[in-house]
Amino acid sequence: MATTTPDAVPLSIRELTADVGFVRRILRGRKWYGTEWYITVLGGTILVVITAATLLAPVVAPHDPNEFIGAAFTPPGGGLQTLVARSGESPVAPGAELSGQTVGVQRNRNGSNLAKELELDSERYQNQEALLDGLAGGEVDLIFLDQDVAKELVTSGSGFEVVIQELGRRYFLGTDNLGRDITSRLTWGARTVLGVAISSALLASVVGISLGLLSGFAGGRIDRVLSLTMDSIYSFPGLLLAIIMAVMLGPGIFNVAVAISVIYIPTFFRIVRGQVLSIKESLYVEAARSLGAKSRNILRMYIFPNVIPSVVIVFSLNIADAILTAAGLSFIGLGLPPDVPDWGYDLSKGHQFLVAGRWWMITFPGVMITLVAAGFSLLGEGLSEILNPRLSEN
């Protein structure tokens, strides 16, 4: 039985073809591929979840990523307001309509946004102290307080009472310096990151594979010139190359993708050229040639399909790297136009408020970049062990 068979013993055909569910098949993958299978599945799962979230962004994201929805620097989980009055003097009963009332709020905070949204008249105060004095002194009868502040302040004997516990909306991951909802920016930002990274890897692979096939198959002078050129690009610091390309091409999603793709062309070129050189010498290619097959057909039918597995691995690893490079570019402030929600850009904005203690602005975008990059890396690593069993001897 499968449960008692050691990993090394081949499973019976019945085991392999047994009609089991998707989840169980994934869990069984380890029997064929070893622990690498889990690495692959872990990477794949991360990517599926994030891709799904960003494809569903219009539904999942609570707000428009560019809308100044809340007050600036609302901490994670904050935003909810509590309606507070002097004990026993509330002009409205709990749960009743608020319209027509005048509410005291703190300027530029979520309370003043809420009053505007509910179309209430508001009395604005410069800070929390003035607001509480205003309420205690009878200038206003009702005030909006941040829920956590209210919880702390309105205890028995403080002279205040809670009228309505929860009003307004909660910002799960807080808001940034312009009051934009970070959760929404992260959800939409995944599109930008995935779009840039995948299209740059696609561009790089198309160019790199074509040149690699050409170089390896044609040999001679073409091969030497191409190899030297690719080696020179490869030895140059990638980010620097992307920086000057991005500066020259100007801002724009497609331009960034082009700028980044240049770095990765040599990677595809090298792996494809190396494979072509070794496959070209193999017996079956020689056999095809001696039977009179055309070069084009040899390339198309015998060499290209054998290059694909290595390309898949490099592709996945390259996307991971491209994500980091793209984030680095926008952190420096190059590449994307400012109205595109982007994690790297958010981090560079957050950097300015780091000393002020706005930790949420720099924490979450970075976590997302790491997750996506790690997803592609894990997938590529796992796949390389699975698709290249000879390497996995190590």
Least spacing, CB of residue 382 vs other proteins, in Å: 10
Report, in Å, the least distance between residue 283 CB and other proteins: 28
- Contact present, 31 and 2 (Cβ < 8 Å): yes
Q: How far is the CB of 61 from other proteins (least distance, A)?
A: 22
DSSP label at residue 181: B
Least distance from other proteins to the Cβ atom of residue 143, Å: 32
> Least distance to other proteins from the beta carbon of 108, Å?
23
Strand 160-167, strand 81-86: pairing: antiparallel
As measured in angstroms, the least distance from the Cβ of 141 to other proteins is 41
Provide the binding-site residues for other proteins, judged by CB under 8 A. 35, 39, 228-229, 231-241, 243-245, 247-250, 320, 324, 327-328, 331-334, 344, 347, 350-351, 354-355, 357, 359, 362-363, 365-366, 369-371, 373-374, 377-378, 381, 394
Cβ-based nearer residue to other proteins, 163 or 362: 362
Q: Which residue pairs, CB below 8 angstroms and at least 24 apart, start in 293-297?
A: 295/217
Using alpha carbons, select from 254, 250, 270 the residue that is nearest to residue 202: 254
Token look-up 């001679």 returns 220
Phi and psi at residue 240, to the nearest 5°:
-65, -40
For other proteins, the closer CB: 85 or 334: 334
Residue placing its CB nearer to other proteins in the complex, 119 or 393: 393
Asked whether 103 and 142 are in contact (CB, 8 A), the reply is: yes
DSSP-assigned letters across all residues of 245-303: HHHHH-S-HHHHHHHHHHHHHHHHHHHHHHHHHHHHTSHHHHHHHHTT--HHHIIIIII
Q: Edge to edge, what strands does the sheet with 121-125 contain?
A: 121-125, 102-106, 142-146, 81-86, 160-167
In sign, the C-alpha dihedral spanning 312, 17, 27, 391 is: negative
* Shortest distance in whole angstroms from residue 184 CB to other proteins: 20
Whose Cβ is closer to other proteins: residue 104's or residue 344's? 344
The full length of the chain comes to 394
